[in-house]
Amino acid sequence: MKIGEVFRRLVNEDFAILGFFVRNLRRFEYIPVEYIAQKLRRFPPKELDARLRKLHKLKLIERHPTMDAYRLKMLGLDCYALKILADRDVLRAIGDMVGVGKESDIYRAMGPKDELVVVKFFRIGRTSFRNVTRVRDYGVAFERGTWLVRSIVAGRREREALRILNEAQVPNVPRLRGGCLHAVVMDYFEGVELFEVKELSDPDSVLTDILDTVRIAYWRAKLVHGDLSEYNIIVTEGEKPIVIDWPQYLTTVDPNARRVLERDVLYITRFFRKRFRVPIEFEEALQYVLSPLDEGDSGKGS
Ligand SMILES: Nc1ncnc2c1ncn2[C@@H]1O[C@H](COP(=O)(O)OP(=O)(O)O)[C@@H](O)[C@H]1O
Ligand SMILES: [Mg+2]
């Protein structure tokens, strides 16, 4: 079942229960039904039981194999985040998945003015989940619990990065439209990831745009991307490169900032040299990025 279909089956009472799981995420993994009943007194035991079974059937929560207890699943966190975003009028509708990243699922969605946006749901630790299940019992509980919590932390970090970048008016990054928990809502960009692009009409100019984003982020927003590569750049139809995926950003005062900036610049210049034969040296690109901005300078051509 698609996430939108699951979402439409939920009523306010279901969200109240999901909200209880979300609020207790850092304290419990499995929550005993008895405890839920004690805390959510508005639900008579029969109704609570029926609702928990409904949420379990929809795969939003799952039952402990032996105990009368449930834990929140990622889909439950997704639906609860969507509810908050719908109530805040950040989102009007959720559509299909458009991308699976290393650490996220990306959905197309509709904003309040029927505009196309994307919702990025973080899934931190998804890839190593199989290894995690092999560790000791309490270790599983701990790691499993932190899986959702760490996704929430990443969501907050990416929203923070985009907020700072947007405020500093750094060009060619998505505009943050909102978000909560592990969800980030931003502009949708029609395009292809740079690693899939075999040919550009003006690769020098595309690289300059990317270096301008890096440079202006560094000087005006005081941020370093930290994972810049051909996988985190979307090239639009007009050959505008959009730099995405910012949760691992560093601030320029971080002791590692300079080293990480150099790595970002190295990777991207090396890619352009190999793929598009752009005759640029790393040192030259680094010097460009590290040259301070003139006031009113928006980058290109300086
Ligand atoms: N704003 C966006 N517009 C269009 N597609 C996007 C957008 N953000 C992400 N995507 C797509 O989803 C993929 C994963 O997003 P990304 O932010 O890089 O997450 P991850 O951390 O999982 O790599 C991207 O490579 C891209 O194809
Ligand atoms: Mg990415």
pLDDT for res 125: 85
Task: Quote the ligand 2 centre to 99 CA distance (angstroms).
Answer: 10
254 has catalytic annotation: no
Ligand 1, atom 19, residue with closest C-alpha: 101
**In the chain, what are the domains?**
3-185 (3.30.200.20), 191-290 (1.10.510.10)
Q: What pLDDT was estimated at residue 71?
A: 96
Say which ligand is closest to the CA of 101. 1
* Cβ 101 under 6 angstroms from ligand 1: yes
Specify the pLDDT at position 102.
Answer: 87
CB of 104 closer than 6 angstroms to any ligand 1 atom: yes
Residue minimizing CA distance to atom 5 of ligand 1: 189
Contact 177, 187 (CB under 8 A): yes
Q: Is the CB of 49 under 6 A from ligand 1?
A: no
Nearest to 15 by CA among 84, 115, 91, 97: 84
What was the pLDDT predicted at 186?
Answer: 98
pLDDT of res. 128: 54
Residue ID of nearest Cα to ligand 1 atom 23: 101
* Separation CA 31–CA 71 (nearest Å): 6
Ligand 1, residue 231: give the atom nearest the CA.
25
In 182-216, which positions are buried (b, 16+ CB within 10 angstroms) versus exposed (e)? Answer: bbbbbbbbebebbeebeebeebeebbbbbbbbbbb
Least Cα distance to 55 among 20, 18, 92, 19 occurs for 18
Q: What pLDDT is stored for residue 294 in this prediction?
A: 85
Blockwise average pLDDT, block size 10, the chain, 302 residues: 96 98 94 97 97 98 97 97 98 95 95 97 76 41 70 97 98 98 98 97 98 98 98 97 98 98 98 98 98 73 46
pLDDT of residue 134: 39
Alpha-helical regions (H) of 168-256: 203-216
